Structure 1
Amino acid sequence: MLTIEKYSFGVGDRFAHQAAAQLRAFQKLAADGVDVTPVWNKSNREHTFVGSEPQSVYDAAKVAVDKLGWDKPWHVDADHIQLATVEPFLPCSDFFTIDVADSIGKAASDSEVEGFVDRHGELIGTLELPGLSSPLNVTKDDVRRVAKQYLLAVKEASEIYKHLESAKGKDGVIAEVSMDETDSPQTPPELLIILAALADENVPVQTIAPKFTGRFNKGVDYVGDLPQFEREFNDDLAVIDHAVKAYGLPEVLKLSVHSGSDKFSLYPIIRESLKRTGAGVHLKTAGTTWLEELIGLAEAGGDGLELAKEIYVYALQHVEELSAPYASVIDVDPKALPDEATVKAYSGTEFASAIRHVQSNPMFNPSMRQLLHVSFKVAAKAGTRYTDMLKANEDIVGKQVTENIYDRHLLPLFVG
């Protein structure tokens, strides 16, 4: 079976121009003595918005790998796929984020639920697992409730996985199961029950993405209770370690943090947990690279800055339209958005400072950053004008991309 490496890190590249700049960050980290595997990801929704095809992600990554002589593993993630959308991803992906959010909460039949409860008496009672902050107390009613909520989602994951395996074979599929895009976080006992159900369905899940407590908005830092996240993360690590041994799940199984990118306050917690336990992790960064492109164009000045300003002004005039698909993962305060006249007067440094995620900078504007984060299809509408600008300013744009991934993400997460 194709297996995921211990540490892996998702990079998005909306316009398929920054793969080499992204890869340079991983090369720098490897030179520091830490190997982290890049996983290029792009969802069907993003392809639809931009007008690209899944093959373009693989092609761009392969060019970068060959150009830079990268001789370590790398993967291409079919991000948030379902049966209805997976086909174009099959030839060019080896990592598949199976999204079953739509089935969570749809009640399984009473017979299926009771069958699961009867098979898994070991889940009931007080479970004292190494590494837990406190024992898990699970009743039969708890198992029944969780099974009713998640069994259909697990069966959907199984159906999708079987389709993947039939198309690519076990040696062509790394399976992640995503359960984070739902209203309620999964508790550690719920995660254990879900993993037992995945094992029942013979899904060799290698990474699992639960929903954690708190806000994971796109492009900005975590909003929530840090000690609570630390307990949840460590308890989930303990649950995964137990589930691998108890249910024969792949030994490489690890947590996937669907971060929405830039969860800087969580990185020290995750780093220390990995160091203490020896566990692996997958971090899906989402689309910060597109923002680094805008930052680079702004810093370049001239036509690049003018285009960056035009994209923002259009976004400002279409806040609701652009925000709607991402309403659950952004918090844009319209009152905090600078008006058109203010932004048109910005220098390149001021525009870049407003959206570069440096919280100590008084110019930094998280609402402006989030709005632009979800406005990449505005750049897509500009077509070759935008992509030609990226080519013309390749060096300064690429510098922003590499520094962002290396300095703000990889170093604090894996080195400290």
Structure 2
Amino acid sequence: MVLQVFNEHFGRGYTVYEKSYREKEGLSFFLAKGEEGKVLVVVGQNVPRFSFFKKHRVNGKEFFFCKPNHENLEILRGIFPDLKPIRAGLKPSFGTGDRLGITTPAHVRALRGSGLFPVFAQQSVRENERTGRIWRNVLDDATWGVFQEGYTERFGADADHVKNPEDLVAAAREGFSMFTVDPSDHVRNLSKLSEREKNEIFEEILRKERIDKIYLGKKYSVLGERLEFDERNLRDAALVYYDAIAHVDMMYQILKEETSDFDFEVSVDETETPTSPLFHIFVVEELRRRDVEFTNLALRFIGEWEKGIDYKGDLGLFEKEIKMHAEIARMFEGYKLSLHSGSDKFSVYPAFSSATDGLFHVKTAGTSYLEAIKVISMVNPALFREIYRCALDHFEEDRRSYHISADLSKVPDVEGVRDEDLPELFKDTNVRQLIHVTYGSVLKDESLKGKIFETLSQNEELFYETVASHIKRHVDLLRGD
């Protein structure tokens, strides 16, 4: 009835997102889209303290038009608690990073009814720096997307790859429910150390703490394979992870002072040294010894986990190792294995899902941005060519902090590609990585950024369905469909 009245009186200027419609305590709430962009419409009497820019009285009801800002969202969260993120715990979960801040409706469509706990608000410190966003933007944008799609089944919010206490505390104060600590600055690369250096550093560690008395000779049986700490492998495990774990412990203690109910993920994936089963055991034993309660553990699995493309490596060897890692996780209990750089790793999902038996978390981010730019290639070829040229100009600078192998000499000349063939470029791994890592430079160009958002807004349903279809491909493989 309320929507009917609204459409009769305001339908020429606004389009309603019907899934967003909710009622509570005699009030009606929904999102609509007009010339000024998206607006929150609140209908009824005695509307609680929402700030509005106009109101109309129709058939005895007052329609308040409110900006979808942080202040109004906080009021909405108070009315509808399901708009606040919560922890996933040990449920199988899936993270959907959104570099644009407008993609959550697509993510909701892909994950609704999947059985996977969705982490719709997920962004790393690096991504925030490159997009000019802050934790509040990330969480608010995702929450408005959740509200728009009428999703009420709860979701999580992940402050991803946090390296310092300031970022951790800031995210906690904004209400994030998951925190991924990245201690990679404290992880040593064994290949860059001589044997003498290894021994000297290990002696320094032993002067701090005699971990040799804890681990030497300790034995484990994993899927019939015997693993034992000897002097050499204990030294190497400590060299790689001891200082990193101390950093994680420090971050965990700081976080506990800010909040009490959260998912804590330890990420040791962004390292050159693959995490062997014995190294996995060392990390878990050390975290448990320090009373660090963690929900997820992101290991550096064997093979190459490049951004925006499928897995590169021996699938048979990966399947063997993931079974070992999954058994170790079951042996110690209380945490899930987390797969980072999870975008488009279609070939490994069946083995990963089967081995972990639902005790997993998967992170994606850049692939949603790629699908958004693919939509632009479909509907606005001229703009896509601008984006492509900008990406080429900034690629060498932007690629430095990402693990990719893209070769610009193999990237097609976009000027020689017909408009109708532009979407096919996204099948080229070099093009995918070119677009993937240059998002920051593209979005810092205010002219390009404005055109991107305008184009996606004008083609909103195509945008949502394209991204949703791509993410659902990930989800279906993880579910074994």
TM range (shorter): 0.7 to 0.9
Structure 1 residue 330, shift from structure 2 partner: 0.7
Tell me which of 123, 128, 136 is aligned to 2:221: 128
Counterpart residue number, 1:280: 359
Tell me which of 339, 343, 348 is aligned to 1:266: 348
Structure 1 residue 112, shift from structure 2 partner: 5.6
SS at structure 1 position matched to 2:349: helix
Q: Does 1:14 align with 2:79?
A: no
Tell me which of 403, 406, 410 is aligned to 2:469: 403
Q: Which runs of 5+ in 1 are unaligned?
A: 245-250, 356-363
**Change in CA separation of 1:127 and 1:405 when aligned onto 2, cut-off 3 Å:** same
What code does the residue aligned with 2:344 have?
Answer: D
Counterpart residue number, 1:199: 288
User: Which has a greater percent of strand?
Assistant: 2
Q: Does 1:227 align with 2:308?
A: no
Cα distance in structure 2, aligned partners of 1:271 and 1:62: 28
Structure 1 residue 3, shift from structure 2 partner: 5.2
What code does the residue aligned with 1:318 have?
Answer: H
Report if the CA contact (8 A) 1:113-1:144 is conserved: no
Structure 1 residue 14, shift from structure 2 partner: 0.4
**Change in CA separation of 1:133 and 1:224 when aligned onto 2, cut-off 3 Å:** farther
Counterpart residue number, 1:65: 146
Structure 1 residue 283, shift from structure 2 partner: 0.5
User: Which has a greater percent of helix?
Assistant: 1
Please list, as runs of the form range in 1=range in 2, the aligned pairs for 1:69-108 lying within 5 A after superposition: 69-83=150-164, 84-92=166-174, 93-105=176-188, 107=201
Report if the CA contact (8 A) 1:14-1:46 is conserved: yes
Task: Report Cα offsets for 1:126-157 as digits up to 9, x if no partner.
Answer: 4223xx26322432442233123311110100
Please list, as runs of the form range in 1=range in 2, the aligned pairs for 1:305-324 lying within 5 A after superposition: 305-324=381-400
SS at structure 1 position matched to 2:122: strand
Report if the CA contact (8 A) 1:295-1:397 is conserved: no
Please list, as runs of the form range in 1=range in 2, the aligned pairs for 1:138-149 lying within 5 A after superposition: 138-149=229-240
Q: Does 1:115 align with 2:189?
A: no
Higher relative contact order (CA 8 A, sep 6+): 1
Structure 1 residue 336, shift from structure 2 partner: 1.3
What code does the residue aligned with 2:314 have?
Answer: D
Structure 1 residue 310, shift from structure 2 partner: 0.8
Cα distance in structure 2, aligned partners of 1:305 and 1:297: 7
Counterpart residue number, 2:252: 161
Q: Which runs of 5+ in 2 are unaligned?
A: 1-85, 190-200
Counterpart residue number, 2:16: none
Counterpart residue number, 2:305: 216
Counterpart residue number, 2:369: 290
Structure 1 residue 262, shift from structure 2 partner: 0.6
Cα distance in structure 1, aligned partners of 2:120 and 2:276: 27
**Change in CA separation of 1:133 and 1:283 when aligned onto 2, cut-off 3 Å:** farther
Counterpart residue number, 1:358: none
Percent identity of paired positions between Structure 1 and Structure 2: 28
Counterpart residue number, 2:121: 40
Structure 1 residue 305, shift from structure 2 partner: 2.2
What code does the residue aligned with 2:436 have?
Answer: H
Task: Report Cα offsets for 1:39-94 as digits up to 9, x if no partner.
Answer: 43111111111111111111122112222232323111111002253233222311
TM-score (norm 1): 0.86
Counterpart residue number, 2:425: 354
Counterpart residue number, 2:479: 414
Structure 1 residue 2, shift from structure 2 partner: 5.1
Cα distance in structure 2, aligned partners of 1:279 and 1:415: 11
Cα distance in structure 1, aligned partners of 2:108 and 2:469: 11
Task: Report Cα offsets for 1:344-393 as digits up to 9, x if no partner.
Answer: x4224x211211xxxxxxxx211011100111123311232222222112
Report if the CA contact (8 A) 1:21-1:402 is conserved: yes
Cα distance in structure 1, aligned partners of 2:336 and 2:408: 38
**Change in CA separation of 1:3 and 1:221 when aligned onto 2, cut-off 3 Å:** closer
Report if the CA contact (8 A) 1:214-1:224 is conserved: yes
Cα distance in structure 1, aligned partners of 2:375 and 2:325: 38
Cα distance in structure 2, aligned partners of 1:393 and 1:280: 37
Cα distance in structure 2, aligned partners of 1:52 and 1:104: 28
Task: Report Cα offsets for 1:207-247 as digits up to 9, x if no partner.
Answer: 00110111101000000011111111110111112223xxx
Task: Report Cα offsets for 1:111-130 as digits up to 9, x if no partner.
Answer: 36652222345xx354223x
Counterpart residue number, 1:256: 338
SS at structure 2 position matched to 1:283: strand
Counterpart residue number, 1:393: 459
Which structure: larger Rg? Answer: 2
Cα distance in structure 2, aligned partners of 1:199 and 1:112: 21
Counterpart residue number, 2:89: 4
Report if the CA contact (8 A) 1:133-1:231 is conserved: no
Counterpart residue number, 2:433: 370
Counterpart residue number, 2:24: none
**Change in CA separation of 1:206 and 1:39 when aligned onto 2, cut-off 3 Å:** farther
What code does the residue aligned with 1:262 have?
Answer: D
Cα distance in structure 1, aligned partners of 2:303 and 2:239: 24
SS at structure 2 position matched to 1:221: coil
Cα distance in structure 1, aligned partners of 2:404 and 2:91: 30
Report if the CA contact (8 A) 2:370-2:436 is conserved: yes
Task: Report Cα offsets for 1:394-414 as digits up to 9, x if no partner.
Answer: 1111111110111x2001111
**Change in CA separation of 1:197 and 1:113 when aligned onto 2, cut-off 3 Å:** farther
How well do the aligned residues superpose, as a CA RMSD in angstroms? 2.0
**Change in CA separation of 1:113 and 1:242 when aligned onto 2, cut-off 3 Å:** farther
What code does the residue aligned with 2:480 have?
Answer: V
Structure 1 residue 322, shift from structure 2 partner: 2.5
What code does the residue aligned with 2:299 have?
Answer: P
Report if the CA contact (8 A) 2:169-2:255 is conserved: no
SS at structure 1 position matched to 2:343: coil
